[in-house]
Amino acid sequence: MKKIAILMVISVVLICNAAISQEKQIPMQAQITIDTDASAKPYDPMIFGGFIEHLGKQIYGGFFEPGSPLADEKGFRLDVIAAVKELKVSVIRWPGGCFVDSYHWKKGVGQKRQPYDDDRWGVRESNQFGTDEFVELCRKIGAEPYICQNGLASVQEMADWVEYCNATSGKFADMRKNNGHPKPFNVKFWSVGNERGDREYIQKVRDGAKAMKLVDPSILVTCSGTHGPDAHMDSYLFDTAGKYLDMVSVHQYWIANFQTFQTPDYLSCMMLSEKPDAHINAAVNSLEQAGVRGRIKITFDEWNLRSWHHPGFSGHYTRKVDYEDPEVIALIKARDKSLNPKLYTMADALFCASFFNACLRNAEDVTMANIACLVNQSGPLYVHLKGLVRRTHFHTMAMYANLLKDTVGKITIDSDKLVQGQNSVDVVDAIATTDKFGKTWAIALANRHPSKEVACTVKIKDVPLCGKFDAKILTGDSADSYNDIENPERVSPQTTTLKFKNGITNLPPHSLTIVHVQ
């Protein structure tokens, strides 16, 4: 009996091992089919935009650090500017965000700057960095400046700011000239306020947009449309202010670290990677229902997988701020949790690819997107006293901004699923872009699986892709790989030759590949 039992155990073990071996031999699969008969859609490079706010080390200690050996004579960090230029950042939104609710632009221009207590973030704002410095920063980077107005300020203050930036004559145009800027800044993009939606705010949007356009009819105006997980927009906004709007702003962070700090694992992050598509589709549906789709575009001007951490403030700290209070000191210090390099893994890189794919798939509706934030906190670039680190999602942004072609082709994706509990997403996400002649293609292929290769078939119409093609691949030693000061290039894109046989190539686990095909 003992011999029979032992033989039975051995048989079960052999069967299990055979099943495991067979599972290893069957790779996950996906098929991408490019429809070359369908018209390719142009997309706006402003989807590769950024956002900076006066919180943490985004401005001071990020872009602007007077006295640093790495800064120029005006205080701009030259290494940071050079790195951001690699991303071809097309537009930068400033100064907020929540910060803008207590910001008054006149205190931050001219020789006599007026420091003040910023009750939104609980710090002393020096106003060293104001409108003039922001526009100069944008010019150095080659990005369009995008100014967000204080939605709680008067309509007149909003109009005056447009005059300061764009007018050739008038009281505030003269102020700009006296501050050393004889030529108008020609700021094209403006927002009336940030993350509000009540009816009083919507009326302010109407009046503010109207007043700003009376100063400069050429500007494009947006406002807060939706922020948070619900992408539905109130039709009252479009009925009341729609005729003065060119765009409407959408914000979402899929890991909300604002008050409670969270560190979900790689797979949990990947379960969020199809959320941007659903969010944009819901916003488009609101525009469609309001009858303004096509005329009013979407600016997704705050987005990221993770929000930065700022416990206790942004309306949650109601007492007068005492900078010596240990509680206040601890709350402000807690913001540095967002600087931890271990947070920004291949999950951030691949979520970033999924977000851009969602924008590209909806290119006719999404005209701008601004990663929040651009430097430090949860941004793609970590800046420290002695240099900087390109985080994993920096490389995704650089690859998309530099390697894609100008129009988006129509594709179908048939993919196995990546599963976690009751949740699942396609294991492969993809986008195909082409030049205006449809002759050269740049195909982005993201394998979301943490540990398995995917046998990915690519067909152009019905013809399987065959041959060797130039490609760049971004991956890491593990799905949790990250870059830090000691190992700044642990995750970085590698140039390679990608081989397709009968249309099939193997995508490495947790990877982004962009391949160029003639």
Q: Which of 347, 371, 403 is the last residue of a domain?
A: 403
Task: State whether 394 and 417 are in the same domain.
Answer: no
Q: Alpha-carbon Rg of the chain, whole angstroms?
A: 25
Q: Does residue 12 belong to any structural domain of this protein?
A: no
Q: 313 with 451, same domain?
A: no
Same domain (yes/no): 444, 398:
no
Which of 368, 403, 438 is the last residue in one of the domains? 403
H/E element, 467: strand 467-474
Q: Show Cβ contacts of residue 174 under 8 Å, excluding neighbours closer than 6 positions.
A: none
Domain containing 479: what range?
27-41+407-517
Give percent above pLDDT 70 in the chain.
94
Query: Would 147 be classed as within a structural domain?
Result: yes
Looking at the chain, how many residues does it have?
Answer: 518
Judge whether 17 lies within some domain: no
23 confidence band (pLDDT: 50, 70, 90): very low
CA–CA separation, 400 vs 199, rounded Å?
A: 39
- Asked if residue 350 belongs to a domain, the reply is yes
Residue 1 lies in a domain: no
432 and 392 belong to one structural domain: no
Give the DSSP H or E segment for 309: none
Tell me the mean pLDDT in the region 162-169. Answer: 98
Q: Which residues of 82-121 are buried (b: 16+ CB within 10 A; e: fewer)?
A: ebbeebbbbbbbbbbbbbbbbbbbbebbbeeeeeeebbbb
| Judgement on whether residues 377 and 499 belong to the same structural domain of the protein | no
**What are the tokens at 233?**
């927009």
Instruction: For residue 2, tell me if it sits in a domain.
Output: no
Q: Give yes or no: residues 412 and 381 share one domain.
A: no
Looking at 291-388, list the stretches that DSSP marks H as alpha helix, in order from N- to C-terminal side: 326-333, 346-361
Domain boundary (403, 434, 452) is at 403
Average model confidence (pLDDT) for the chain?
A: 94
- Same-domain check for residues 398 and 502: no
Compute the average pLDDT of residues 45-55.
Answer: 97
187 plus 249 within the same structural domain? yes
Residue 7 located in a structural domain: no
Name the domain count of the chain. Answer: 2
Q: Is the pLDDT of residue 107 over 90?
A: yes
Same domain, 37 and 49: no
Residue 338 sits in a domain whose CATH number is 3.20.20.80
* Residue 393 and residue 413 share a domain: no
Do residues 324 and 462 share a domain?
Answer: no
Q: Is residue 90 part of a domain?
A: yes
pLDDT for 426 beyond 80: yes
pTM score of the predicted model: 0.94
As a whole number, mean pLDDT of residues 290-308 equals 97
Q: What is the CATH number of the domain that holds 500?
A: 2.60.40.1180
Q: What is the pLDDT of residue 316?
A: 58
Tell me whether the omega of the peptide bond preceding residue 95 falls within 30 degrees of 0, making it cis.
Answer: yes
Q: 406, 332 in Cβ contact below 8 A?
A: no
Q: Residue 3 carries which side chain, given as an amino acid letter?
A: K
Same domain, 286 and 423: no
